[in-house]
Amino acid sequence: MPDHKSCPLCKSDNIVEVFKVTDFLVSRQEFPLMKCSDCFFIFTNDYPQENEAANYYLSEDYISHSDTRKGIINKIYHLVRGYMLKRKFSMLRRVSPAGKQSVLDIGCGTGYFPLYLNQKGWLCKGLEISDEARNFAYKKHGLTIDKPEKIEDFELGSFDIVTMWHTLEHFYDPDNYMKNVHRILRKNGLLVIALPNNSSYDAGYYSKYWAAWDVPRHLWHFDPHTIERYAGGRGFVPVKTFRLPFDAFYVSVLSEKHKGSGTAVIKGFFRGFISWFTALTRRSRTSSLVYIFRKNQ
């Protein structure tokens, strides 16, 4: 089990355990969350080796890989997805030059986002680690999705935009991905990273039951300060930040389920509304944020 003795972000050895979090999705194991007292970065510790990680995704409820509609939470996810595809595309159009763009979507799951962009006339390729998700994308959408190691084969300056929608937090070697992203982006290319925000209202309220900890699948836990520090140290400068408004509701419902609430949907929507309302005036308290970075020459 990887055991970090120092902060992966700033290398300080001044780290402390925040609390242990349960893997509610698959194993019911507990994993410690560590926090750096110097830069305040939070990370999962004692997580499985990379060659064992796939075992912790083997759940029908892991929707980004299975596309399941089982249960009310996943049904809500499907209802919201169509709107969010439009919103994500709108974000890209607002920050990118006019005209069709070439995009690489890392961690594209079952392929809905690459499909949407291609239907809009853009050129979007996808990378995905899950065999099940790649097979679904081919059978459902006719999309050929490559394995993550394909990123090593793309030539210098291959893409205008690289997107990571809730992906970076899963990488065992995020620095290698960031190095390759910098290489394959064209001059002034854009990197789009969507992440849960551990300084959000709902993260504070639910504490160790917050669904977006999602251990041990999520290894790194960012807030606006730590992601900008991380990306800045790897050749990217911040451009803009967007809110993901529905994540607070989805995460809060799941968090209530983790707590064993008998009325998880009702309580979760109520708490999600408070989180959403709080973030209207304090963006740093948003449940999930989309960070736009530009490649720094």
pLDDT interval class at 71 (50, 70, 90): low
Confidence of residue 62 (pLDDT cuts 50, 70, 90): low
Q: Is residue 9 part of a domain?
A: no
Residue 140's alpha-carbon distances to 60, 126, 132, 164, 190, in angstroms, are 17, 15, 12, 22, 29
DSSP string for residues in 145-169: PBPGGGGGGSPTT-EEEEEEES-GG
Report the percent of the chain where pLDDT is more than 70.
93
Q: Where is 32: in which H helix or E strand?
A: strand 30-36
Per-residue buried b or exposed e for 46-74, using 16+ beta carbons within 10 Å of the residue's own CB: bbbeeeebeebbeeeebbbbbbeeeeebb
Please give the Cα distance from 287 to 43 (Å, whole number).
17
Nearest-angstrom CA–CA distance, 231 and 162: 13
Is pLDDT above 80 for 75? no
Summarize pLDDT for 210-222 with one digit per residue, the tens.
Answer: 999 999 999 999 9
DSSP letters, 234-267, are TTEEEEEEEE-TTHHHHHHHHHHHHHT-TTHHHH
pLDDT at 83: 86
Q: Which residue has the tokens 């990680």?
A: 53
Q: Has residue 61 got a pLDDT over 70?
A: no
Is position 1 within any domain?
A: no
Task: Note whether residue 227 is domain-resident.
Answer: yes
> Residue 7: inside a domain, yes or no?
no
Which whole number is the average pLDDT over 7-18?
97
Query: Is the residue at 119 inside a domain?
Result: yes
Q: What is the mean pLDDT of the chain?
A: 93
Residue 106 resides in a domain: yes
Counting the structural domains of the chain, the total is 1
Structure pTM?
Answer: 0.92
Which residues span the domain enclosing 245? 15-295
Q: For residue 49, tell me if it sits in a domain.
A: yes
d(CA 11, CA 230): 12
Output the pLDDT for position 65: 47
Beta bridge partners of 159: 185
Q: What is the CATH number of the domain that holds 282?
A: 3.40.50.150
pLDDT at residue 72 tops 60: no
pLDDT, tens only, 265-294: 999 999 999 999 999 999 999 999 999 999
- Of 184, 162, 171, 257, which is closest to residue 222 (Cα–Cα)? 171
What are the tens digits of pLDDT across the range 116-131? 999 999 999 999 998 9
Residue 66 within any structural domain of the chain: yes
In angstroms, the CA 297 to CA 293 distance is: 12
